[in-house]
């Protein structure tokens, strides 16, 4: 009978199938020839000691036992061309996985995406990087695949529902992702590989009779007697359906404003805001691995750090080893930063959002905006940063130690942020309470990670789109909006997810609830 084992090995052993098999044989006191296959189930790095080890959970198959490589297949999707239609607004992970789940349940998704497909988006990303031109409907946040497509492709989540997580990971593998994402403790696809996977998901939806429409912007909802009846598009067309999944992402400010104008219940939600810090990846490797040279068997080191500073949480967010910083504004007159890594994580720099948790009372100066107070708070900082950096897509930047010492940096070296930087005292970008926390917090970070607090690290401002500044309330059982029947707020934009996996899970949950509602109504 195959035997499950757990062991720790050196990185070079974990990276070599034969060496790992030999290690397991010694561990089990059997000959190497007695083992047919060591199938790794989970792999993680233990860097707590001076000698770094790899934790391995595996199943050992012996020579007399049969072994077949695991094949991950797609579910049996049926043709839904003539089935009941459900509108899905937004083609990010929540919207796309909702659409796939709807097809699996025998319903026809109509996916409406304001932006372009993955290929079309590339031209607009080049325009914002090279020319500082922001296309409001096609950028790093809007377009096929949503913000995740060109934002690293991290696949880990704090969700405790491992079954749901594994289902999403298996679907991604079936659509072309590396099977390694099923094994790694912190799986990651990479910005260079995600677009093809997203494109294949789209083609599967269309192949099964669903619709995916690009450059199709929703500007109004058709609502009668507090029930959803459809949407109005920017070109004036109306699409009718009495079930709608709203999965527009955390930056769809026009949708939040539309809901507010129509007096559809929404509420301000706390989020986090700060800067994106860039270090040399070599330095982060040295800190995390306690070595001068990482070697070829360890991946570029990530880091995760949380501190309580002056009664608030200050923490790393969306850390990108071997990655770059990207311009993520969605409107002219603002600057926003985010980070991503290619699949090999082979860039020379590491970056991470370093953010401070906000509270609803922080939005008091914008209270006249009601539920949109947090959004206006966020917008004001992004616009101020744009003005201070020269009113282009350059961002305000400062060396880390200079920032803590309230000293404008005399020089800013070239960073991975392609549009460029402008030396600015970042205390002028943020409200005083955020600035004070960050000035102290970076020094506290340096006490935990020796070498982190350095003037060679460059802070880029702002990192402001960590999560939605608005929550769209829904019933905890039906997932339907508390006021509008047939409206299913979903994913990051509605305040119910934080990343590719949790957004995809939420999309599936909403699709399941819609199918359940339809079944109950027909019975």
Q: How confident is the model at residue 155 (pLDDT cuts 50, 70, 90)?
A: confident
Is the pLDDT reported for residue 509 higher than 90?
A: yes
CB 293 within 8 A of CB 299: no
What is d(CA 231, CA 246) in angstroms, rounded to the nearest whole number?
Answer: 11
Average pLDDT over residues 484-505: 96
Give residue-wise pLDDT tens across range 390-429.
Answer: 999 999 999 999 999 999 999 999 999 999 999 999 999 9
**φ and ψ at 391, to 5 degrees?**
60, 40
Is the pLDDT reported for residue 499 higher than 80?
A: yes
Give the per-residue pLDDT at 516. 97
Give residue-wise pLDDT tens across range 293-323.
Answer: 898 999 999 999 999 999 999 999 999 999 9
Give the per-residue pLDDT at 451. 97
CB 481 within 8 A of CB 472: yes
What letter would DSSP give residue 184?
B
Domain 3-62 class in CATH: alpha beta
DSSP for 105-164, written as a single string: TT-EEEEE-SS--HHHHHHHHHIIIII-PPPTTSSSSSSTTGGGTTSTTB-----S-HHH
Is the pLDDT reported for residue 192 higher than 90?
A: no
What is d(CA 228, CA 485) in angstroms, rounded to the nearest whole number?
Answer: 6
In whole numbers, what is the pLDDT of the chain averaged over residues?
95
Is the pLDDT reported for residue 54 higher than 70?
A: yes
CB 361 within 8 A of CB 342: no
**Helix axes of 93-104 and 194-207: crossing angle, nearest 10 degrees:** 30
Average pLDDT over residues 257-271: 98
Give the per-residue pLDDT at 222. 98
Is the pLDDT reported for residue 256 higher than 70?
A: yes
Give the per-residue pLDDT at 264. 98
Lookup: tokens for 292: 């001068």
Give the per-residue pLDDT at 151. 64
Average pLDDT over residues 65-82: 94
What is d(CA 400, CA 127) in angstroms, rounded to the nearest whole number?
Answer: 29
Is the pLDDT reported for residue 160 higher than 70?
A: no
Burial zone of 493 (CB within 10 Å; 0-12 exposed, 13-18 middle, 19+ buried): buried
Give residue-wise pLDDT tens across range 332-357.
Answer: 999 999 999 988 899 999 999 999 99
Give the per-residue pLDDT at 158. 62
What is d(CA 79, CA 468) in angstroms, rounded to the nearest whole number?
Answer: 35
Is the pLDDT reported for residue 56 higher than 70?
A: yes
Q: Where are the alpha helices (DSSP H) in 347-431?
A: 373-388, 400-404
CB 389 within 8 A of CB 299: no
Give residue-wise pLDDT tens across range 17-38.
Answer: 999 999 999 999 999 999 999 9
Average pLDDT over residues 137-141: 94
Give the per-residue pLDDT at 523. 73
Lookup: tokens for 45: 């790095």
- What are the residues facing 352 on neighbouring strands? 277
- Among 340, 84, 305, 46, CA closest to 193: 340
CB 366 within 8 A of CB 380: yes
| Residue entry with tokens 């989540």 | 157
Give the per-residue pLDDT at 152. 62
Grouping H, G, I as helix, E, B as strand and the rest as coil, residue 98 is helix
Roughly how many angstroms between the first and final C-alpha of the chain, as a whole number? 47
Average pLDDT over residues 503-521: 96
Is the pLDDT reported for residue 163 higher than 60?
A: no
Spatial CB neighbours of 363, under 8 Å, sequence gap ≥ 6: 268, 373, 374, 376, 377
Residue 132, sorted as left (phi over 0), alpha (psi -120 to 50) or beta, turns out to be left
Dihedral angle of Cα 469, 304, 352, 126, to the nearest 10 degrees: -80
Percentage, residues of the chain above pLDDT 70: 98
Domain boundaries defined on the chain: 3-62, 85-265+472-522, 270-463
- What are the residues facing 1 on neighbouring strands? none
Lookup: tokens for 378: 């966020």
CB 511 within 8 A of CB 505: no
Lookup: tokens for 150: 């060109």
Strand 421-423: give its sheet, edge to edge.
306-309, 312-320, 349-357, 272-280, 458-463, 395-399, 421-423
Q: How confident is the model at residue 153 (pLDDT cuts 50, 70, 90)?
A: low
CB 348 within 8 A of CB 261: no
What is d(CA 259, CA 485) in angstroms, rounded to the nearest whole number?
Answer: 14
What is d(CA 14, CA 491) in angstroms, rounded to the nearest whole number?
Answer: 36
Give residue-wise pLDDT tens across range 110-120.
Answer: 999 999 999 99
What letter would DSSP give residue 300?
P
DSSP for 468-502, written as a single string: -SEE--B-TTT--BSSSBTEEE-HHHHTS--SHHH
- Among 480, 472, 517, 513, CA closest to 227: 480
Dihedral angle of Cα 72, 73, 75, 76, to the nearest 10 degrees: -160
Considering the domain delimited by 85-265+472-522, tell me its CATH architecture.
3-Layer(bba) Sandwich (3.50)
């Amino acid at each position: 009978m195959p035997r499950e084992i757990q062991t720790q090995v050196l990185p070079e052993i974990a990276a070599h199938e034969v060496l790992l098999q030999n290690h397991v044989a010694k561990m089990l006191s059997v000959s190497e020839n007695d083992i047919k296959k060591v199938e790794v189930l989970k792999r993680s790095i233990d860097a707590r000691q001076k000698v770094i080890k790899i934790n391995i959970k595996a199943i050992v198959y012996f020579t007399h036992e049969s072994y077949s490589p695991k094949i991950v297949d797609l579910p049996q999707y049926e043709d839904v061309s003539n089935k009941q239609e459900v509108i899905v607004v937004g083609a990010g992970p929540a919207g796309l996985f909702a659409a796939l789940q709807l097809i699996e349940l025998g319903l026809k998704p109509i996916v409406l995406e304001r932006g372009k497909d993955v290929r079309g988006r590339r031209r607009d990303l080049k325009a914002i990087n090279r020319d500082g031109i922001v296309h409001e409907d096609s950028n790093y946040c809007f377009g096929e695949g949503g913000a995740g497509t060109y934002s690293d492709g991290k696949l880990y989540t704090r969700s405790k529902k491992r079954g749901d997580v594994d289902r999403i990971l298996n679907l991604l593998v079936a659509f072309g992702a590396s099977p390694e994402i099923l094994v790694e403790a912190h799986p990651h696809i990479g910005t260079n590989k995600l677009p093809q996977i997203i494109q294949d998901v789209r083609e599967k939806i269309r192949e099964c009779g669903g619709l995916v429409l690009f450059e199709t912007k929703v500007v109004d909802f058709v609502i009668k007697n507090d029930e959803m009846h459809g949407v109005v598009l920017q070109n004036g067309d109306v699409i009718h359906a009495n079930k709608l999944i709203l999965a527009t992402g955390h930056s769809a400010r026009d949708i939040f404003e539309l809901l507010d104008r129509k007096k559809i219940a929404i509420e301000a939600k706390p989020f986090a805001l700060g800067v994106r810090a860039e270090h040399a990846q070599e330095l982060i490797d040295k800190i995390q691995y306690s070595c001068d040279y990482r070697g070829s068997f360890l991946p570029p080191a990530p880091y995760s750090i949380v501190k309580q500073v002056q009664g608030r949480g200050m923490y790393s967010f969306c850390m990108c080893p071997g990655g770059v910083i990207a311009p993520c504004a969605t409107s002219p007159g603002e600057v926003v930063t985010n980070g991503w890594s290619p699949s090999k994580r082979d860039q020379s720099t590491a970056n991470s959002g370093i953010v401070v948790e906000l509270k609803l009372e922080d939005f008091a100066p914008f209270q006249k905006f009601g539920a949109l107070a947090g959004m206006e708070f966020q917008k004001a900082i992004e616009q101020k940063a744009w003005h201070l950096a020269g009113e282009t897509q350059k961002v305000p930047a400062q060396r880390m130690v200079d920032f803590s010492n309230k000293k404008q940096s005399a020089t800013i070296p070239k960073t991975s942020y392609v549009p460029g930087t402008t030396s600015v005292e970042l205390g002028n970008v943020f409200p005083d309470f955020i600035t004070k926390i960050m000035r102290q917090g970076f020094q506290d970070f340096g006490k935990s990670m020796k070498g982190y607090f350095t003037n060679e690290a460059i802070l880029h401002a702002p990192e402001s789109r960590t999560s939605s500044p608005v929550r769209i309330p829904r019933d905890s059982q039906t997932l339907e909006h508390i006021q509008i029947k047939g409206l299913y707020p979903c994913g990051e934009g509605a305040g119910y997810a934080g990343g590719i996996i949790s957004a995809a899970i939420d999309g599936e949950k909403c699709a399941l609830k819609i199918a359940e509602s339809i079944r109950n109504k027909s019975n």
